[in-house]
Chain A
Amino acid sequence: MGDERATATTRSRPGAFARAWAKAVSGTSYLPMTQAQLEALLQRLTERLALALRADPFDLRIGQQVGAELVQSHIASAEGLGRTIEVIQLRLVRDLDLVVDDVEDRMARLLATVATGYARALRDRTLDEQEAIRRAAMMARAQAERALRDSEARFRHQATHDPLTGLPNRTLFTERLTAAITAPGRGADRIGVCFLDLDRFKVVNDSLGHQVGDSLLVSVARRLRRVLGEHLVARLGGDEFVILVERAGCTEDVVKVAEAALAAVSEPALVDGHELTVSASIGIVERQVADTSPMELMRAADSTLHWAKAAGGARWSLFDADRNRRELARYALSAAIPAALDRGEFYLDYQPLTGLRDGRVVGMEALVRWRHPELGVLRPDSFIPLAEETGLIVRLGSWVLAEACREATTWADGPAGAPFVSVNLAVRQLHRPELVQEVQGVLRRTGLPAERLQLEITESTMMSTVAEPVRALRVLADLGVRVAIDDFGTGYCNLAYLRDLPVSELKVAGEFVAGLRAPADDPGSRTDERILASLVSLAHALGLTVTAEGVETADQADRLRAIGCDAGQGWHFGRPGPAAPHLDRCSPALTDTAS
């Protein structure tokens, strides 16, 4: 039996049987070992088999262990088992030169135990591997789903956040606001919204560049988030931010939030190497959840922000329902102007400009009126400012110009000629390149001589340094159109423009004339009188005529005449109304102011 007899604890060199066994199982499955390692392994198992064959009583476990160990060593295939049984049956006893009683019986039992141990181990291994691969598939699926969720979450984050500042964007803000307002059982809660906008942010962008502007926005976002941690801060776009104050206790709570936000924004900050101090304006709306909708709340906060801006910025404004109603009404009114023009709801009243020396009506100022179907007759101050803001003034102004010229042609010539018609020109009209063409067209169509048209512009109109309006006025003046400066003395008061402008008349603002109502020895009255006298002599020195506005009493008229003022306009001479009655007074004989 030689070295095959060695005990299990001693490693022995592979014998002929182990080598034959190794050869038999080679290639039956992948064996992660060298041929030498395989032979060494099988030599060890050979010794176990020899032991099992001889053991008395027969020990089932040895053969089973050998079978299991083959599988554990990856000699784990049907072919591996078949060849193993074959080689043991054929060669084990012979190669090892074993002498055993009942050898056939014991060999059969040994092969049975090896096959049993092998099959059992292979089955276990198969089940384990199947379980492992199924678990891996499940894990992979879970990972894929998690990755999908993460990518969805990332996508959702991108969709609901501002990439520059990382703040929630309008979408998320609207979602949160809507949820806060529409959540059941929240009707009694109060909710606040602060619309925040940086003051003069454009200046930063224009002077330091968009990159610095962007960095400033990031810095402002960070500061707002720091001080308003519990409240949702979102960036709506540009330099507009919004803060949601859910479950506000009262208005004062939201005002405190706004004040904290203003303080945070106004901290000086180093932005891209620039020490920048900016301010912000905030519009605050705070009300009971039940009384509002997200849209309405956003709109109200936006308008309120504009109030804060209009008041000079660096402050908060609180929403005021009355003010909002008035503004909405004004807005509705301005929106109705085009349709009202189409329906012919506008008409003109006239107020005479009366010569102070002879009481003759020298001109008449056209004043637009709106016969509103529901509100009655509206005076210009209720709709002209808005028409100017919205640009509708251009269409309305064109209508006024055309209508005034048309009516003026019907005014009968007096002995000294018919009075001119004076039409107010808004800034926007003056800046239109088509102005000259339009005036020329109206004069041509109506047949009104250019000398009988006076255009009134305000001093502030001339603040613009743009040359175009000046050129247009010069062309018109060359045609013979009169140009008057309205409200002279109250506005810009830079006399330089008188050098460039083809002005023919100054209309002195009613404020100075009002002073003349006081007794002549009143110091204030005397001052106004001196100012008026100076203006008159200045105008006359420049070859301009002077009309005093707001003349209400005969005494005022007398004093103006004494100063040398050329004409007067005001209730004393005639209230605004249809042209005809004023025209009747064109004759000096009919005026009681003539001296």
Chain B
Amino acid sequence: MQRPDWAPETIDIERPSVARMYDYYLGGSHNFAADRAAARAMVEAVPEAPLMAQANRAFLRRAVQFLADSGIRQFLDIGSGIPTVGNVHEIAQRIDPESRVVYVDVDPVAVAHSQEILAGNDRAAVVQEDLRRPEAILRHPDVLRLLDFSQPVAVMIVAVLHFIPDADRPEDCLRTLREALAPGSYLVMSQASDDGRAGTGERAEAERVYRRTDNQLFIRSRAELTALFAGFELVDPGVVWVPQWRPDAPEQAENAEQAVFMGGVGRLGG
């Protein structure tokens, strides 16, 4: 007799969730008291936190727009969180209704909420999985149903990597994903970075706040993030503070380092 190798987790809304904290930063109300308390503590430590979230969200929007304009019609958004406003499928399907989007998140509440949002949309789905289990993501029936890996796919890992420690070998996860992708696919990544901000003490404080959530914070430099794009060719302007990545207007890129997050888009050649 064998014990099941997997036991369902319990849902505890008393524990802050990064997905719901992120929603709070974006001005949403898809959050509970514990999330708001943790988010407010985070804002105490890092006053730019809401700005960071907005900047990331805007980066995601511009990146999806760029990918859609480049002909990408398949999106795999890993760490999608609470789908609030400006979701990948809204942007992508507005450009081409045939676009297919699969969201992936570990947070069961975020997944349940996404299911409700996506009900009736047969070209989008949400899957409860972990970035650290790329094989499980790639063989998930909904992923296989919606995405054709013989065609280019854009993998989005936006504002997620800073929750993955080096010990979990994110480069291995990314390699597994890369190996599943067809030439012409894209990788979009952003994560908290401290280039130019080391020593302000904010990093330690932010890490302390996140320790109260299910997730810890692991900040990476521009070079470290760039290294994670291994195998992809970075499109202009490379890995930059997220507001600097193809801004709608030049003034939006001002004081870009305040956004704390760096990001970039890579293309799989061949």
- B residues with CB within 8 A of A: 1-4, 6-11, 13, 20, 26-32, 51, 53-54, 57-58, 61, 82, 84-86, 90-91, 108-113, 115-116, 248-249, 252
A126: nearest residue on chain B (CB-CB)? B29
Taking CB atoms and an 8 Å cut-off, the chain A residues in 142-181 that contact chain B are: 143-145, 147-148, 151, 154-155, 158-159
Question: Which residues on A sit within 8 Å (CB–CB) of B11?
Answer: 137, 140-141, 144
CB atoms of B82 and A77 under 8 A apart:
no
Does A148 contact B7, Cβ atoms closer than 8 Å? yes
Chain B residues with CB under 8 Å of A151's CB are 4, 6-8
Bound CA–CA A309/B83 (angstroms): 69
Q: How far is the CA of A159 from the CA of B1 in the complex (A)?
A: 6
- A residues less than 8 Å from B110 (CB atoms): 136
* B18 CB, min distance to chain A CBs, angstroms: 14
Q: Is the CB of A133 within 8 A of B27?
A: no
In the complex, what's the smallest C-beta–C-beta distance from A349 to chain B, in angstroms?
57
Q: Which of B7, B29, B248 contacts A129 (CB 8 A)?
A: B29
Q: Is the CB of B30 within 8 A of A77?
A: no
A554 at interface (Cβ–Cβ under 8 A)?
no
Residues in A neighbouring B9, C-beta threshold 8 A: 144
Q: Which residues of B contact A30 (CB under 8 A)?
A: 26-27, 53-54, 57-58, 84-86
B61 to chain A, nearest CB (A): 6
Can you list 16 residue pairs at the A/B interface with Cβ under 8 Å?
A: A29-B26, A35-B252, A76-B27, A130-B30, A133-B20, A133-B113, A136-B109, A137-B32, A140-B108, A140-B109, A144-B11, A151-B4, A151-B7, A155-B3, A158-B1, A159-B1
Cβ of B112 and Cβ of A29 under 8 Å apart? no
CA of A148 to CA of B9 in the docked complex: distance in angstroms?
A: 9
Residues B27 and A29 in contact, CB atoms below 8 Å apart: yes
Given that A30-B54, A77-B27, A148-B7 are known contacts, is A133 also in contact with B109, CB under 8 Å in the complex?
A: yes
The smallest beta-carbon distance between A393 and chain B, in angstroms, is: 41
Which residues of A are found within 8 Å of B108, using beta-carbon distances? 140, 143-144
> Min CB distance, B241 to chain A, in Å?
15
| Cα-based distance from A55 to B176 in the complex (angstroms) | 64
Chain A contact residue count (CB 8 A cutoff): 35
B2 touches A158 (CB 8 A): yes
Given A29-B27, A144-B108, A148-B8, A136–B3 Cβ distance below 8 Å? no
Contact of B248 among A34, A130, A141 (CB under 8 A): A34
| A137 pairs with B13, CB closer than 8 A | yes
Bound CA–CA A304/B87 (angstroms): 71
Question: Who on chain B is nearest to A32 by CB?
Answer: B86
Which residues of chain A are within 8 angstroms of B82 by Cβ–Cβ distance?
Answer: 133
Shortest Cβ distance from residue A5 to the other chain B in the assembled complex, whole angstroms: 27
- Chain A: residues with CB nearer than 8 A to chain B? 27-30, 32-36, 74, 76-77, 125-127, 129-130, 132-133, 135-137, 139-141, 143-145, 147-148, 151, 154-155, 158-159
Interface centre among B4, B29, B31, B90 (most CB of A within 10 A): B29
User: Is B248 within 8 A of A154, CB to CB?
Assistant: no
Query: Chain A residues with Cβ under 8 A from B54's Cβ?
Result: 27, 29-30
* Residues in chain B near residue A127, CB distance under 8 A: 29
User: Are B26 and A133 in touch, CB under 8 angstroms?
Assistant: no
B63 to chain A, nearest CB (A): 13
Residues of A within 8 A of B57 (CB): 30, 32
Chain A neighbourhood of B248, CB < 8 A: 34-36
Closest to A142 in B: B112
Chain B positions within 8 Å of A126 at CB level: 29
Task: Enumerate chain A residues within 8 angstroms of B13, measured Cβ to Cβ.
Answer: 137
Cβ contact of A140, chosen from B51, B84, B111, cutoff 8 A:
B111
A148 to B4 alpha-carbon distance, docked (Å): 10
B32/A74 in contact, CB under 8 A: no
Chain B, residue nearest A122 (CB): B29
Bound CA–CA A510/B9 (angstroms): 81
Give the distance in Å from the alpha carbon of A484 to the alpha carbon of B3 in the complex: 63
Question: Could you tell me if B7 and A139 are in contact, using CB atoms closer than 8 angstroms?
Answer: no
Min Cβ gap B51→A in Å is 7
Q: Which residues of A contact B112 (CB under 8 A)?
A: 135-137, 139-140, 143
A512 to B175, CA, bound (A): 91
A159 to B3, CA, bound (A): 10
Contact assessment for B116 and A135 in the assembled complex, using a CB-CB cutoff below 8 Å: yes
> B4 touching A154 by the CB < 8 A rule?
yes
Selected from B4, B29, B115, the residue in CB contact (under 8 A) with A130 is: B29
Give the complex CA separation of A74 and B170 in angstroms: 34
Query: Does A132 contact B30, Cβ atoms closer than 8 Å?
Result: yes
Chain A residues with Cβ below 8 Å from B111 are 140
Instruction: State the CA gap A195–B1 with chains docked (Å).
Output: 24
Q: Which residues of A contact B51 (CB under 8 A)?
A: 27
Nearest residue, chain A, Cβ from B113: A136
Q: Which residue of A33, A132, A136, A144 is within 8 Å of B8 (Cβ)?
A: A144
Closest partner residue, chain A, to B249 (CB atom): A35
Query: In the complex, how many angstroms separate the beta carbon of B144 from the nearest chain A beta carbon?
Result: 21
Given contacts A76-B27, A129-B30, contact A32 B85 (CB under 8 A): yes
The interface centre, meaning the residue of A29, A30, A132 with most chain B CB atoms within 10 A of its CB, is A30
The 6 closest A-B pairs by CB, nearest first: A32-B86, A29-B27, A136-B113, A129-B29, A147-B8, A140-B112
Q: Chain A's nearest CB lies how many Å from the CB of B240?
A: 19
Of B30, B51, B116, the most chain A CB neighbours within 10 A belong to B30
| Interchain nearest-CB distance for B224 vs A (Å) | 27
Known: A30-B54, A35-B249. 9 other contacts (CB 8 A): A29-B26, A30-B84, A30-B85, A133-B109, A137-B32, A144-B10, A145-B8, A155-B3, A159-B1
Q: How far is the CA of A12 from the CA of B6 in the complex (A)?
A: 59
Complex alpha-carbon distance, A129 and B82, angstroms: 11
Minimal Cβ-Cβ distance residue in B for A160: B1
Q: Which B residues are in CB contact (< 8 Å) with A158? A: 1-2
Q: A27-B54, A151-B7 are in contact. Are A137 and B109 (CB under 8 A)?
A: yes
Nearest residue, chain B, Cβ from A155: B4
Contact (A133, B31) CB under 8 Å given A140-B111, A141-B11, A159-B1: yes
